[in-house]
Amino acid sequence: MPSTAAAASPSGDDPLIVMEDVNKWYGAYHALRDVNLSVRRGEKIVLCGPSGSGKSTLIRCVNHLETIKTGRIIVDGVRLDDSTRSVDAVRSEVGMVFQNFNLFPHMTVLQNCTLAPMRVRGVTAAAAEATAKRYLERVRIAEHAHKYPAQLSGGQQQRVAIARALCMEPKVMLFDEPTSALDPEMVKEVLDTMVGLARDGMTMVCVTHEMGFARQVADRVIFMAEGQILEEAEPESFFRAPKHPRARSFLGEILAHH
Amino acid sequence: MGTTFGLGELGFLIQGLKWTVLLAAIAFVGGGIGGLGVALARTSTSRALRRITGGYIAVFQGTPLLMQLFVIYYGLGLIGLTLPAWVAVAIAFTLHASAFLGEIWRGSIEALPKGQFEAAKALGLHYVPRMRDVILPQALRIALPATIGFLVQLIKGTSLAAIVGFIELARAGQIVSNQTYEPLLVFSVVGAIYFALCWPLSLYGMRVESRIARAAAR
């Protein structure tokens, strides 16, 4: 594995993701302002905040779906510059789950899961299928392996999307509002899958409004507004007594609807 | 003094038909390969590639096919390239088809949800597997009705090759008509042959289209 920074030690203390003074603009719009964030191995982080606060943009920068203007992002010891080499190295270690699942509709569930390991890691078809079946089992959807995404419910599709990302055996999983596009009765099955993943020790960064999930698994809750990180706290103290007035009004609004 | 329209004349038309089918096939295969390159260039991140192919498409969509045939057939001769007529015509049709198919496929690539590109990137898939395994199979499927529609246009468009002396179906009909003095009969037969070639394709295109619409509604 090519590494542009000092080789990471395998101990649990070195951060897996580091963002330093990250700034991003969309035209004149300042989407991320001086963002500093460090995610330890095994840590679970929940990012919340009003829409347009930059939380999705932030995690999309981690795997270079968005590019930053200034600052540094280091993932597993690899400094993300715009080089193909660093982008490849980072993407192969970072899994991502999207709001709209983004499964490949022309492929079966199994093919969705085996494509990247075969094309990126060069794994044989048989090995890729064995891995895929293991993860499909884990998200409890193995019986649908030969169906197409359109034949599955939203919750099932999102669990397949989680399995697809896991098949690359990533070091960290990014979740971009994974339950926002789901019917209410399907939210639980996806959250349960994510809780299971957290229990198994996966490093996770989740953009979500599911405060129950945040309470249950997050080591830290990060509150963002207008592209800035305004508050970082353990879930208990964040929900009991948010310090920043913006966080207080945000929590008041979302809890009023629950 | 003319002959009457008989089996010999019909055979002559069939000879013309062979060239029509062959020309359309060459144009479609060549245009398929060229069009794929054009579509990929038009959707690439390189501004230079997008501009060059954009200009190429503008020229070939903005001028008559007849003129393109003329320019390429005589133009190649002027720069000292003496090619057999059918090769020159095949080059002209390939360039023509590449521009149109490239533009059809560019549209369908851009019509795919952005999430498909992003999911493929997030999984670490490079450009080639991303396009080959994820994007193009979906884009070409969406583009199938328009692609078949263009193929039908192309088959009929081969009649213009007559202008550089090529004896394809339409030109063969003209010759037979001049010999038999039965233009109405001869051109009815010629029309029927074109129809028999094109209509099943159109029908197939419509069926594919409704199948895609049904799948999208599911």
The amino acid at B11: G
Chain A residue numbers touching B134 (CB-CB < 8 A):
104, 115
Q: What is the separation of C-alpha A199 from the centre of its chain, rounded to a whole number of angstroms?
A: 16
CB contact at 8 A, A131 and A118: no
| pLDDT (average), residues A163-188 | 96
CB contact under 8 A, B121 and A115: no
Domains located in chain A, CATH noted: 26-93+172-258 (3.40.50.300), 102-170 (no CATH)
Amino acid at residue number B81: L
- Tokens (6 digits) for A233: 């706290």
CA A14 vs. chain centroid, Å, equals 19
> What b-and-e string marks burial along A120-147, b requiring 16 or more CB atoms within 10 Å of the CB?
beebeeeebbebbbebbebbebbebbee
Whether B19 contacts B160, CB under 8 Å: no
Mutation target to probe the A interface, by most A beta carbons within 10 A, among B117, B123, B138 is B123
Q: CA B173 to CA B87: how far, in whole Å?
A: 22
Name chain A contacts of B124, Cβ cutoff 8 Å. 88, 91-92, 116, 120, 168
Q: Report the percentage of chain A scoring pLDDT > 70.
A: 94
Rounded to a whole number of angstroms, the distance from the CA of B41 to the nearest CA of chain A is: 19
Nearest to A203 by CA among A54, A1, A53, A38: A38
Rounded to the nearest 5 degrees, what angle is found at the Cα of A132, between the Cα atoms of A127 and A134? 100
Closest CA to A119 of B41, B121, B139: B121
What CATH number should be reported for the domain whose range is B7-217? 1.10.3720.10
pLDDT in tens, A95-138: 999 999 999 999 999 999 999 999 999 999 999 999 999 999 99
pTM: 0.89
User: pLDDT (tens digit, 9 = 90+) per residue, B89-138?
Assistant: 999 999 999 999 999 999 999 999 999 999 999 999 999 999 999 999 99
SS percent in chain B: helix, strand, coil, step 5: 85, 0, 15
Confidence tier at A54 by pLDDT (50, 70, 90)? very high
Q: Name every residue in B having a CB less than 8 A away from some CB of A.
A: 113, 115-116, 118-126, 129, 133-134, 137-138, 141, 215, 218
CB contact under 8 A, A91 and B115: no
Per CB-CB distance under 8 Å, the chain A contacts of B125 are 115-116, 119-120
Which residues, 6+ apart, have CB-to-CB distance to A215 below 8 Å? A235, A236, A239
Task: Examine the pLDDT at A258 and tell me if it is beyond 80.
Answer: no
**Number of C-alpha atoms within 13 angstroms, CB side, residue B155?**
19
Q: Across the interface, do A115 and B134 touch by the CB < 8 Å criterion?
A: yes
User: Rounded to a whole number, what is the distance in Å from the CA of A227 to chain B's nearest CA?
Assistant: 22
- A79 contacts A4 by C-beta, under 8 angstroms: yes
Subunit contact A104:B141, Cβ cutoff 8 A: no
Nearest-by-CA chain B residue for A64: B122
Using the structure block, give the residue that is written with the tokens 């199948």.
B211
